[in-house]
Amino acid sequence: MCKLSRNDPCWCGSGKKYKSCHLKQDLMRRRTPRKSAPQRNGIIIKTDAQVAGIRASCQLTSEILDTLETRIVAGITTDQINTWVHEATVARGAVPAPLNYRGFPKSTCTSLNEMVCHGIPDGTRLQDGDILNVDVTCILAGYYGDSSRMFLIGNVSEEARRLVTVTKECLDMGIAQVQPGNQFGDIGHAIQTHAESHGFSVVRAFVGHGVGIQFHEPPNVTHYGHRHTGPILEPNMVFTIEPMINAGAYQVKILDDGWTTITADGSLSAQWEHTVRVTESGVEVLTA
Ligand code: MF3
Ligand code: CO
Ligand code: CO
């Protein structure tokens, strides 16, 4: 194909000079499309359009968790919770991200008492005194929103309630570290310091993660660590913070199903998770 000069007649037949007709449009179109989103250390900096899509998915995730608040009571099964999550998700035109993710067989994770994470919904009936994490991730219009909450069943022991409360405080203190210029180590340090000050331990084997375009993106967001270490937070990074805190030691075991993760010492474990975005001045909790 031959190249038109600026003063040649435009190819469109308008009779105008190329420079005052289609030149600009052609140059725009010829600009090579971005092969991938801009990144820092492999961490995707989301565009405003991507943020809008992730925000909508995160809001749906939060709404689905809201619908569980009054429904989760003693006597129901974790399979029933799975059905509620699945149906609420597809009713809104979204897809439950866990289903078939690396072979995961259900649409949500239900982790009971000594389960740390990735519990598989089944016929287990909730009993008075149980503590339960339900982890919901939606894919809405291709964008991921990831959040989990704890549910207390009936009369829960003082010690279990303290674990659940402190774990929520750990999440909130991690979120409070999210602002441009801070580092990922600041988040982990705040969480670890708070958990250990209450005699609890921070699970090492699972971490938070970048999220939004994929279920799990860089970076790993550890819930332990040192201040002033790790990648620097920049506006429009989107990631989860999801501390798993054990009443006993931090070590875990994965059961033969390849998913269910329990505390090695059989102690109780709690987890809360939000998807957050770094803003120009601080943080937006997308799954609030
Ligand atoms: N939602 C979990 C997380 O917070 C991941 C679950 S993976 C699954 O990262 F396959 F178990 F669903
Ligand atoms: Co997550
Ligand atoms: Co999750």
Task: Give me the tens of pLDDT residue by residue for the chain, a chain 288 residues long.
Answer: 457 788 888 777 778 887 888 787 767 655 544 446 789 989 999 999 999 999 999 999 999 999 999 999 999 999 999 999 999 999 999 999 999 999 999 999 999 999 999 999 999 999 999 999 999 999 999 999 999 999 999 999 999 999 999 999 999 999 999 999 999 999 999 999 999 999 999 999 999 999 999 999 999 999 999 999 999 999 999 999 999 999 999 999 999 999 999 999 999 999 999 999 999 999 999 999
How does pLDDT run across 147-203, given as a tens digit for each residue?
Answer: 999 999 999 999 999 999 999 999 999 999 999 999 999 999 999 999 999 999 999
Instruction: Output the residue whose Cα is nearest ligand 1's atom 11.
Output: 118
Long-range contacts made by residues 46-52, C-beta under 8 angstroms, separation at least 24?
Answer: 46/212, 46/213, 46/236, 46/237, 46/238, 46/277, 47/236, 48/236, 50/143, 50/212, 50/213, 51/236, 51/238, 51/277
Q: Rounded to 5 degrees, what are φ and ψ at 73?
A: -140, 165
Q: Does the reported pTM lie above 0.75?
A: yes
* Model pLDDT, residue 1: 46
Instruction: Output the residue whose Cα is nearest ligand 1's atom 2.
Output: 135
Round to whole Å and give the CA distance between 145 and 157. 32
- Ligand 1 atom closest to Cα of residue 135: 1
Return the CA Rg of the chain.
Answer: 23
- Ligand 1 atom closest to Cα of residue 108: 12
* Token reading at 217: 């993106």
Distance 273 CA to ligand 3 centre (A): 6
Selecting from 3.10.520.10, 3.40.50.300, 3.40.1010.10, 3.90.230.10, what CATH number does the domain 39-285 have?
Answer: 3.90.230.10
- Ligand 1 atom closest to Cα of residue 118: 11
The ligand 1 site (C-beta within 6 Å) comprises 98, 101-102, 104, 109, 118, 135, 137, 146, 240, 242, 259, 273
Domain ranges of the chain: 39-285
